[in-house]
Structure 1
Amino acid sequence: MTNGAAGEALVRTVRANAVVFGRHDEATLEQFRDVAARAERAALMADGHLGYIMPIGGVAAYDGKVSVAGVGFDIACGNAAIRTDLALPSIAPHLDEIADTIAETISFGLGRTNRAPDAPVDHPLFSDPAWDAIPADRSAREALREKAREQLGTVGGGNHYVDLFADEEDRVWVGVHFGSRGLGFAIASGFMALASGARWGERVRETEALLDLGSDLGERYWALMHLAGAYAYAGREWVARKVVSLLGAREVQLVHNHHNFAWKEIHGGRELIVVRKGATPAFPGQLSFIGGSMGDIAVIAQGKVTDDPMVRRLQEQALFSTVHGAGRLMSRTEARGRPGGKRRKAVSGKITRPMMESWLKERGILLRGGDVDEAPQVYRRLSDVLAAQGDTIEILHTLRPIVVVMAGPDVRDPYKD
């Protein structure tokens, strides 16, 4: 069943080559304008907020170049959703047990702690020739490959999750959100170092690192970005299918997409390198799974198929992209606060755990793990940001969260989104 279109877009031009959907603070807009100054075209989605160099929710198209900071540290972060053959009433009496089983079986945070013997550590991607593109000695390449093996099928921390949803017909969906873990982080930081004149493995200040794809460095990065993409896809599909098996269910439909990646695409008759950082590809008919927060809806959407020239123009302005989530309203520090120290001032958090738990309880959502910096109050409402994107997409299914499993507040994860 189709739930209708997104509505009337809230869009404006901030540079000759750049448009903004929705409303944003000035710091985010300034960061976006800076990126757009070096791009052929750019767009900021309605869930945008401040990021490293390029805002989350940003889309930038380049002529033969790729932005390392634009793709981001969590290369190929994305969402996967599986519709199962189960109906909610069949599992409703067992949700507490199901939530515990997911939390005990799937690894959240660093390393592999999930005891799952069937994680795909022998996936063909580990013999891909792209590993040879790592611009380091053999021992460093092998160390990174082994770290990637150990982390494949782990979800991590931050805003990464495994959720159970029910759609408008009470059909049960499994949804996951995470990326390429330590592999993507090592690739991004390594190429930033090389672009700054440092050596692979050295830590440098974050830079945009625009790499020409005709150069050796650009070719190597492009190959490794795609390797990280294959890695992220393998991990998400394994985790989602593992949860389906824990439910004793059957997979009916898979919807899967990256939102931190770069693609070669044709726009305005030109081939451009389109970098999406926290933005979802949304060409006409292309399916996507877009999450909200732990206490908000998610949707299965598709790029709108239409002959309406106004809608088509909006889609072109968005570089056939849409939001990847609801978008943060406050930083992690604002949400949870931080203790003071010799060189920094204490910050009081705006969100408490009782506030978060009250929101979830009112909506009948079971939570395992999670922290106040991921509370629903920290995010916009997904319906609002989708409305600001206008009729560029169609909502096919609206999913309400039933069970949410995330890393707990004691987990430190440097690879989070």
Structure 2
Amino acid sequence: METEITIEELRFLANIPRELETTFLRVANGLHLKAKHPKERVFIMLVRMLQNPKKYAYSKSKLTNLAKTVFDLKKNGTDITLTEDGQELLVNEEAVLTPQQSEGKSGNQFGLREDKLHYAVFGREHIEEGALQQMETAVSLPISVSGALMPDAHQGYGLPIGGVLATEADKVIPYAVGVDIACRMCMSIFDIRPDYLKREPHLLKKILTENTKFGMGGETGRKFDDSVMDKPEWNATKVIRDLKDKAYRQLGSSGTGNHFVEWGITEILADDPLLGLPKGTYLSLLSHSGSRGFGGNIANYYSKLAMQKTILPKQAAHLAWLDLNTDEGQAYWIGMNLAGDYASANHHEIHNKIAKQLGETPLKMIENHHNFAWKETLADGREVIVHRKGATPAGTDELGIIPGSMSQPGYVIRGKGNAESINSASHGAGRLMSRSKAFTSTTRSQMNQILEDAGIQLIGGDLDESPMVYKNIEDVISAQTDLVSVLARFSPKIVRMADANRKEGRED
């Protein structure tokens, strides 16, 4: 028996206004239960409409009336946009063409190699079969040189989350970088004793909420340093130029999903000159976010373009590449690297504003990003492009941060430069279940009890980020002792995430 589509599943696709929830549910379930479309097909139909409501508003279909409403609301300033997951689904829909549909495409067709490359797997016992199968496909690409799978890995689209793939030095795969280009971690460690959390919890909560914005409508008016917007690369291509104004408005804000800004306690475990801090405990700020709508739009545009230029078998379609010797390849490379600079500036905006209001200068700031492609040299001397989709760079003496969940600690790590892992480590604990499954198999009361037991205050957040949906971070760290050394432990205490299905207003 077919189950109804729920509002939680629709929120997975877009930030649907509450006044439209009933209408969206009626239309979605009409298509699913009455017209007998599979759920996945309904979701694709909805994201396509949300991407271009004007087109659907002036056509005759079962989505016409809903599209007219959405189009009118957007025209009057209501922000109704796809989530990062909705954007991924939109790209995914482009990738599932049948062989017949692929005929006549202007791109070049490629098959997969029969001699799959060996790739290292760390913490295999913690990794689902779907992620292993996706990695098998990735190392079968004719341009693949080397691969590795991190212990937090789980199935995604194309390259699994936690997958590392080295390709020929002039080939880049937009979807192996991911939709949220240059998603990154940033930590500020302050010369403040942890008991400040008990003495001034209301002040810290106030500072956190006043200096953070989340979600599709999250924009900031007050900037600390907007010099990243002066970079000449903003004029490099029409795609980038068209996104500049939105990027400026979102500078200093965070995305939805697993993005957060939180206060916590950092315990320095080792006297390490690279970290440069004595053993002890410190008040710290940790953030996780990426390049916002700018990076998402760059990823979607060039992922689709790559799939038009490079035609692969259906199971590998997301792994289409662009050649850096072409204008399209160079345009993506410029956009991706600009998204990296922008994502870093995003975090610096948040940390600088909070530090200023706190009246303190951090003793140390640590940051690293994932969802990126780097030009690197392998241990055997080959020049390659290394794609890390949900994996942390961990070259020799490279500092990084591996977070857990809102109830589990995160770790500051020092890379060991392990050649088998392609100088990489996990980027977090990794998910045990999908977001849609989290909504149907966990409850708010269960989540609240876990947070209460751990002494954690949560501002915003939803069941898709409940601690129960993540792997045990201690197991994940234990599986990569050959990849990293642990220097410090971070324990979250006051966690700020996007509010459930509510867009943020502008900052004063």
Common fold, TM-score beyond 0.5?
Answer: yes
Name the TM tier (shorter chain): 0.7 to 0.9
The equivalent residue for 2:346 is 235
Q: Deviations over 1:108-137 (max 9, x none)?
A: 1123455x52343x32x3233323333x4x
Q: 1:368 aligns with which of 459, 466, 471?
A: 459
Q: Any residues of structure 2 matched to 1:16-95 within 5 Å, and which?
A: 16-22=117-123, 23=125, 24-38=127-141, 39-63=144-168, 64-95=170-201
The separation in 2 between residues aligned to 1:102 and 1:66, in whole angstroms, is 38
1:30-80 residue CA offsets vs partner (Å, 9 max, x unmatched): 111111111110001000011121110000001121110011110000101
2:376 matches 1:275: no
Where 1:46 maps in the other structure, the secondary structure is strand
Amino acid at match of 1:104: E
In the TM superposition, 1:140-159 aligns within 5 A as: 141-159=240-258
Question: Partner of 1:245: helix, strand, or coil?
Answer: helix
Matches for 1:180-329 after TM superposition, within 5 Å: 180-197=291-308, 207-267=318-378, 268-304=380-416, 315-329=418-432
Task: Find the residue that maps to 1:251 and give its secondary structure.
Answer: coil
Contact 1:62 1:274 in 2 (8 A): yes
Cα distance in structure 2, aligned partners of 1:381 and 1:84: 28
Contact kept, 8 Å, 2:207 with 2:354, in 1: the verdict is no
CA distance in 2, matches of 1:189, 1:126: 22
Length, aligned pairs only: 366
Residues 381-396 of structure 1 aligned to structure 2 (within 5 Å): 381-396=472-487
Instruction: Name the aligned partner's letter for residue 405 of structure 1.
Output: R
Q: Secondary structure at the match of 2:319?
A: coil
Once the two structures are superposed, what CA deviation does each residue of 1:370-390 show, in whole Å capped at 9, x if it has no partner? 111101110012111111113
2: distance between equivalents of 1:179 and 1:129?
21
Q: For 2:195, what is the secondary structure of its paired residue? A: helix
For residues 113 and 195 of structure 1, the distance between their equivalents in structure 2, rounded to whole angstroms, comes to 31
Question: How high is the TM-score relative to the length of structure 1?
Answer: 0.83
Aligned partner of 2:494 in structure 1 is 403
Which of the two has greater strand per residue? Answer: 1
SS of residue matched to 1:88: coil
Higher RCO (CA < 8 A, seq sep 6+): 1
1:153 positional shift = 0.7
2:99 is matched with none
Q: Which amino acid aligns with 1:286?
A: E
**Residue 256 of structure 1 aligns to a residue in which SS?**
strand
1:210 offset after TM fit, Å?
0.7
- Higher mean C-alpha deviation, range 289-298 or range 90-99: 90-99
The structure that is helix-richer by fraction is: 2
Correspondence for 2:261: 162
Percentage of matched positions with identical amino acids: 38
Q: Is the 8 A contact 1:52 1:206 kept in 2?
A: no
CA distance in 1, matches of 2:264, 2:242: 38
**CA distance, structure 2, for counterparts of residue 366 and residue 247 of structure 1:** 19
Deviation per residue, 1:351-405 (Å, 9 max, x gap): 1111111111111111111111101110012111111113321100011111111
| CA-CA distance at 1:85 after TM superposition | 1.2
Cα distance in 2 for residues equivalent to 1:66 and 1:109: 29
Q: CA deviation at 1:141?
A: 4.5
Give the 3-state SS of the residue equivalent to 1:164 in structure 2. Answer: strand
Name the counterpart of 1:201: none
* Counterpart amino acid of residue 95 in structure 1: P
Preserved CA contact (<8 Å) 1:183 1:228:
yes
Alpha-carbon distance in 1 for matches of 2:454, 2:302? 44
TM-score, structure 2 normalization: 0.69
Larger Rg, first or second structure (1 or 2): 2
